[in-house]
Structure formats: C-alpha cells, structure tokens
C-alpha cells in the first residue's frame, strides 16, 4: 500500500491536518492506497499559488503555451502504460481499454495546442476614425472538479484547454479514485511549468469541492458530475458570480424505428450500454422500440448482453469490469429493486456474479422491461450496466413525446433506414447530441454538453475552448491622437 501527497505550488505536500482516506481496488475490495484529505488551509495555499502563477503563465505567448501543451501530450503518451495500469487498479477498467485510453486521450492536449493558436480576434467596422476590436483572454484561476467514472479523460478534457489558453488550475479529482491524478502530478512535475500553474488537492467533494467553489480566489469552476451536485455548485458559485461550465447527468433515449437495421442497432447499443460498466453520462438510459420490431430487438439485445465477458480487469478477455465501489453497486442494485417493486420485469441479470468475482463490486449485465414513464428507473440516471426497455410505441410522434419527457437532455440515438425520418427526429429531440445509425462518436473536436438539467456550456470543439476565455471589447478613438 502506498501513501500519496498533494501537489501545491510545484511541491508534493501532506495535508496540514495529516488526515488521509483509503482507496480500494473495486475488483477485489482490497485497500491499495491512502490519500490526503485537504483542509481549508490547504485549499487557501493552492488558490494563492494559482493566483501568484497566473500573471506569469497568462503573459506567456500563445505559442509558448501551445508548445508546453504538446510537450505534456508527448510525455503522457510515454507514460501511458503505467497510467493505464493505475486506471485498472483503482477503477476496474479492463486492461486493454485502460491502455488504449491512456495512449489516446492525450490528443486533447494536441488539439488544444493547435486550435488555441488559431483563435482570432474580430474588428467591428464602426467608422474610419475609430478602432473597435474583440480579443479573448484567460479567465484566471479555474477549479477543475472531476468525477470518478473516467478519471484521466475527465481531467484531460478540462485541463488541456484551460491550461493552454493561459489559465492556472486547481484539480480536485474524485475522492474514490484519485490515484490517476496523483500519478499525473508526478508526470507534470517534470515538464517545467511555473510553480502553481497546476495544483492538485484531494478529499471529499462535500468539503474540499464545496470550499473551492465558494473561494473568492477562484474565478471559474468546471465540473462534471451529478445534476444534484451541479445545482449546489450553481448556488455556491452564485455568491461570487463565478463562471461555470457544468457537464451533468443524462437519461439518454434510444429510439428504434420500425425500419431500423436491427442487427446494427443491437450491436451498437449493447456496446454503448456496457462500456465502462455503464458508468458514463452518455450511456443509454431508455430504450423506445417500435411495436413492430420490439420482440426481435429485445431478443437480439439480450443475446448480445449475454455475450459480454465480465471478469477480472487484468484479463485481456474481459470486456466489462466491476462497478467503482461497494456504495455505487448498492445504489445500482437499489434501482433494480425499485423497478421490480414498481412492476417492471428483470429479464436478464440483476444479480452479482459468483466466485471468483464475488469479492469485487460486480453487477452482471441487466435488462429490465415493462418500464413506464413515471417509474424511478425511467426518470433517474442509474449509472450501471442496466438497460431500461420502455413500453412499446406505435408512432413517431409518440416516441418523440416520450423521449423528450425527461428533465435531462444530454445525448440520444435514432435508428432508421429513412434519412429524412431520422433528421425529423434529430431536429425535435431535446438533447445536445443526436446520433443516427451509429454508436457514439467523440473526441476533442466534438462539442459535448446538454440541454435542460444536463448542464451548462460545452466541452470539446472551439465552443469548449471559448468556455475558458473572457471576451473583451476594446474601443479606440483614432482621432484623439491627432
């Protein structure tokens, strides 16, 4: 077992209180590390370090900052193997997937490096005697509060644009699996950033995260996590009118029309449902299947879920590992029980596996049918490998109405052979992303963010870069110099 330290002002430090908390291997339940619990004094030190570093880092040219981002990308790829191993150890990500992610997602720094250099100002043609132009500037000190479900990706997709555009950052990773971020600190310590440009503090979101949000020295909060926590951040951040970028929950509809390619739809949606053990905000949430193809789709979907290889994350054959913690497993099992209590039917899974996987936090791939719009599992995000099949629909209008009948609006899927029909759905679904006839695409060039209670702002794309900048208007009277 290893003891880790926080990274503040370019130094590895214990918390002033000396308090720590344990991290567990979700595949075995064994304790693997102790992590510091930051107190108010630690938070103040991190904020002070970031504020002191801001004029140093922000006044470097964009070319210099972009070169640093490319350097970080390169060194992260060099350490991809060990970063992937940490992801498997603390999160239960299957080793093959963890290795792929660790090697692939540094592209967020590449993308930020190149595209930050292409951000241009604009002039407003007022008159020959005046110059009015717009320029983008870094916001300041940004708190990056990241979730546990994809630890490295969630950090990179915030840190890369925030840092490259001249902001200084304080990262607060999820307390349940902070080891990836601790390993990241060790790597960043070698790249030559000005002290305090990036700081990493650890501890529970209810104390450390809340204090960061309320701190007047923090100019912006970028958060990914639950809608409930997002609402709390809005309330706390509102006291100092902070800039907020919130990527929150989803209960994402899948609409399978009567002319869909069933085999293609099943293949894409089984993978989407079980990716990362269903622990992603972009996971499938509600299946709406036309009455003419419902039985065929359900039968083939169940067959596909049965084929998913659940096992030890270190086994290369494993496709789906454990849930992240015993607490979260209990939460997922609670949703399954609520569906049964409300009259739905578990037609596959819903249980824990037997030995040797009984020591870990596993739930087998699960399919539930007979779910109505008002049931708890139809309204709330489960965050597990649980497919919710809603009642059959008979018309496009009915499917669209039911799909939009939710407080979330993150992403969605439509399966149809009729392109025009698919576009009608795309134009009317209330979601930030609509995917037609394929699995989910992604990457730094894609904007990601939702409608309604799924969040505020975007990550990825040029729109995501803009989130980490202030827009300034400069007006000059050219006649005054004569």
What structural domains does the chain harbor?
2-248+455-473 (3.40.605.10), 252-444 (3.40.309.10)
Q: What pLDDT digit, counting tens, does each position of 206-244 carry? A: 899 999 999 999 999 999 999 999 999 999 999 999 999
Query: Between β-strands 130-138 and 469-477, what pairing exists: parallel, antiparallel or unpaired?
Result: antiparallel
Distance of CA 288 to the CA centre of its chain: 25
* Residues forming a β-bridge with 371: 390
Query: Choosing from 169, 181, 274, 281, which is the catalytic residue?
Result: 281
CB 76 within 8 A of CB 109: yes
The label of the residue with tokens 């029309």 reads: 257
* Token couple for 83: 């970063």
Task: Report which of 381, 400, 407, 310 is spatially closest to residue 351, judged by C-alpha positions.
Answer: 310
Tokens of 356: 């040797």
**Alpha-carbon gap, residue 80 to 8, rounded angstroms:** 24
What's the pLDDT score for residue 481? 58
Residue 480 is predicted with a pLDDT of 67
Q: What pLDDT was estimated at residue 479?
A: 87
Spans of the chain below 50 pLDDT:
none
Is 342 one of the catalytic residues? no
247 catalytic? Reply is yes
Instruction: Give the CA dihedral 105, 107, 108, 111, nearest 10 degrees.
Output: -160
What's the CA gap between 155 and 172, in Å, rounded? Answer: 9
Quick one: how many helices (H) and strands (E) in the chain?
16, 23
Pull the structure tokens for residue 24: 């567990």
Give the CB-side neighbour count of residue 123, counting CA atoms within 13 A.
7
pLDDT of residue 2: 81
Round to whole Å and give the CA distance between 322 and 334. 16
Is 103:156 a contact under the CB 8 Å cutoff? no
Nearest to 213 by CA among 193, 186, 195, 231: 231
Distance (Å, whole) CA 437 – CA 423: 11
Closest by CA position to 334, among listed 274, 383, 279: 383
Token pair listed for 370: 């007979």
**Considering 247, 319, 381, 467, which one is annotated as catalytic?**
247
Q: Tokens 């140093």 sit at which residue?
A: 56
Q: What is the pLDDT of residue 279?
A: 97
For residues 298, 301, 302, 303, the Cα torsion angle rounded to the nearest 10 degrees is 120
pLDDT digits (tens, 9 = 90+) for 33-77: 999 999 999 999 999 999 999 999 999 999 999 999 999 999 999
């Amino acid at each position: 077992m290893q003891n880790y330290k926080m990274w503040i002002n370019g130094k590895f430090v214990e918390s002033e209180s000396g308090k720590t908390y344990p991290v567990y291997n979700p595949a075995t339940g064994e304790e693997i590390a102790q992590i510091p619990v930051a107190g108010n004094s630690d938070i103040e030190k991190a904020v002070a370090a970031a504020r002191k570093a801001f004029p140093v880092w922000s006044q470097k040219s964009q070319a210099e900052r972009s070169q640093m981002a490319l350097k970080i990308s390169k060194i992260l790829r060099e350490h991809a193997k060990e970063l992937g191993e940490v992801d498997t150890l603390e999160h239960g990500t299957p080793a093959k997937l963890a290795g792929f992610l660790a090697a692939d997602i540094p592209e967020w720094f590449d993308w930020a490096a190149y595209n930050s250099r292409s951000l241009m100002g604009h002039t407003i043609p007022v008159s020959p005697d005046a110059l009015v132009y717009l320029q983008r500037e870094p916001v300041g000190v940004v708190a990056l509060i990241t979730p546990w479900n994809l630890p490295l990706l969630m950090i990179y997709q915030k840190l890369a644009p925030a840092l490259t555009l001249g902001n200084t950052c304080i990262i607060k990773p999820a307390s349940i699996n902070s080891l990836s971020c601790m390993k990241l600190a060790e790597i960043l310590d070698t790249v030559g950033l000005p002290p305090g440009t990036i700081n990493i503090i650890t501890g529970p979101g209810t104390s450390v995260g809340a204090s960061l949000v309320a701190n007047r020295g923090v100019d912006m909060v970028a958060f990914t996590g639950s809608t409930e926590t997002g609402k709390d951040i809005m309330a706390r951040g509102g006291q100092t009118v902070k800039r907020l970028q919130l990527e929150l929950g989803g209960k994402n509809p899948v609409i399978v029309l009567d002319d869909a390619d069933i085999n293609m739809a099943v293949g894409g949606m089984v993978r989407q449902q079980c990716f990362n053990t269903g622990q992603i905000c972009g996971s499938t949430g509600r299946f709406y299947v036309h009455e003419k193809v419902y039985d065929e789709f359900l039968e083939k979907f169940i067959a596909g879920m049965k084929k998913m290889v659940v096992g030890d994350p270190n086994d290369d054959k494993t496709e789906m590992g454990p849930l992240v913690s015993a607490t979260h497993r209990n939460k997922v099992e609670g949703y399954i029980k609520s569906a049964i209590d409300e009259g739905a039917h578990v037609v596959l899974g819903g249980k824990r596996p037997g030995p040797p996987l009984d020591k870990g936090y596993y739930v087998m791939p699960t399919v539930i049918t007979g779910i109505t719009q008002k049931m708890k599992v139809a309204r709330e995000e489960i965050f597990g490998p649980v497919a919710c099949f809603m009642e059959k629909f008979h018309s496009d209008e009915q499917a669209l109405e039911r799909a939009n009948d939710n407080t979330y609006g993150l992403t969605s899927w439509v399966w149809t052979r009729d392109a025009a029909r698919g576009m009608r759905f795309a134009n009317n679904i209330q979601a930030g992303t609509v995917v037609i006839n394929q699995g989910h695409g992604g990457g730094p060039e894609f904007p990601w963010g939702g409608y309604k209670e799924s969040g505020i702002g975007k990550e990825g794309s040029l729109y995501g870069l803009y989130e980490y900048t202030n827009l300034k208007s400069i007006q000059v009277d050219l006649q005054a110099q004569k």
